[in-house]
Amino acid sequence: MEGRKHSNRSLSLMMILLMMGTLWFGLMPQRAYAVDVAIDATNFPDANFRAHVEDYDLDSDGVLSQAEADAVTSMDVQGESIADLTGIEYFTQLRELECGDNELTALDLSGNPQLAILYCYLNELTALDLSGNPQLAYFYCAANQLTALDVSDNLQLIDLSCGENMLTELDVSSNSQLQYLECVDNKLTELDVSNNPWLMELNCSRNLLTHLDLSNNDRLWDLYCYGQQGPPAIALDDGQHYVIDMAQAFPAIDVTKVESIDNRPGYTYDLETHRIIIDKSEGTAGSQVYYYDVEDPWPISNVIDVSFDWTLRYQVDFQVNGGSPVDLQLVAPDGILVEPVAPVKEGFTFSGWYTDTALTNAFDFNTEINKNWTLYAKWTAVEKDKEDAPGTVKKATSPNTGDTTPWMVVFWAMVASTLLMLLTNGRKVFPGKKENRIIR
């Protein structure tokens, strides 16, 4: 009997262990594709890619076995006119993929978590999701049509090349291991590399950057940051020259770091006032370049050059002569001034804008503006009623008619009633009776 009980306990224990093993196996991470895959148009729709995959079919049975797929850790399909890489997900052990110079418009690499090196340059990609590739260290996606790029999940990234796209922003703040960054020919207006202390080479040429801070990048040894296109600037007429105030034209930059401008006739730069002085012979529009110190911690100073277009504007000021303020206007040559909303002034009526302090020449708003103007507000005092004059008190009037007679009648009736009450000491008197016939 004891033996049977022991045998039952052993059998129960074996069943429990078997169930636990089954459960453990079920919870283990499984490969997405544990079966053989036919090398056909269903699994590999692109004929050119399918022909490449056939090279991995070592036994030539028309099937990609799991062992054959796992043996592929590096794949080079560059320049093979491939438009679709569907089927790449079967190669789960892939570490390096070179698929540049093809016709790809989309690329799904979510099934390749081991990927560390990716070349996908010279394609037609408009978007790319790299959130499933945490091991990615070397990434080259230049010459595509990317408008956005998220590398925040790629913490191992060392080398990033994303030039010749259409990026308006690039966040590399999560990539603290980054050593090489190339982002030329995009539309970046800002680039923050303060969280990339290992950065050794930076090429951010031909963007829209107006300044760059490299004070935290003390390992940087190579910088290319030429050909930036800045926003347009406005030049004003100071009477003798046209002047660009750098602080007003480029409020995002520290003007003290502007070292110089392109040295050519007709232009000078005043380091003390940070103004560009332009000879009037240069016309009313043009272009210029300024050179900005990026504060490279290396002894050799590095600067970026920023090109910008400038146009002349004439300034029109409004002297309101005690009225509410009116903003100045900047008007292009031969332009027409927009008539502002009339100012207000207590006790006065606005009578128009004049070109002289004597207020004798009214300004015509159809005048073409070809110089700076100052316009002066003219006011006319409001005539007051004599009754409104200081020290004058108005008579009380009826709310509806203005006639004072009804109010006077009411007033004297109330006075008479009060006197009667006082004389009779509050007693009621019948009309026509003598005073001794008063009823209490």
How would residue 28 be classed by pLDDT, with cut points 50, 70 and 90? very low
**How many other C-beta atoms are found inside a 10 Å radius of the C-beta of residue 242?**
25
DSSP class of residue 342? P
pLDDT at 265 over 50: yes
Mean local confidence (pLDDT), 156-179: 98
Could you state, in order of their start, the residue ranges of all structural domains in the chain? 32-187, 233-312, 320-386, 403-440
Q: What residue type is 62 in one-letter code?
A: G
Confidence at 410, pLDDT banded by 50, 70, 90: low
| Rounded distance between C-alpha atoms, residue 64 and residue 89, angstroms | 12
Please report, rounded to a whole number, the percentage of residues in the chain having pLDDT higher than 70: 78
pLDDT of residue 298: 57
Q: Pinpoint the alpha helices (H) of 58-200.
A: 66-70
User: For the CA atoms of 128, 133, 136, 142, what is the dihedral angle to 10 degrees?
Assistant: -10
The greatest distance separating any two alpha carbons of the chain, rounded to the nearest whole angstrom, comes to 147
Token digits of residue 199: 């950065």
Of 28-37, 134-143, 196-205, 301-310, the one with minimum mean pLDDT is 28-37
d(CA 116, CA 171): 20
Q: Give CATH for domain 32-187.
A: 3.80.10.10
The Cα–Cα gap between 230 and 306 comes to 6
pLDDT at 146: 97
Confidence of residue 383 (pLDDT cuts 50, 70, 90): confident
- pLDDT above 80 (res 270): yes
Angle 45-46-51 from CA coordinates, rounded to 5°:
110
Distance CA(129)–CA(154), nearest Å, equals 11
Question: Is 50 exceeded by the pLDDT of residue 419?
Answer: yes
Residue 192 has pLDDT above 50, yes or no: yes
Q: pLDDT value at position 293?
A: 87
Q: What's residue 303's pLDDT? A: 82
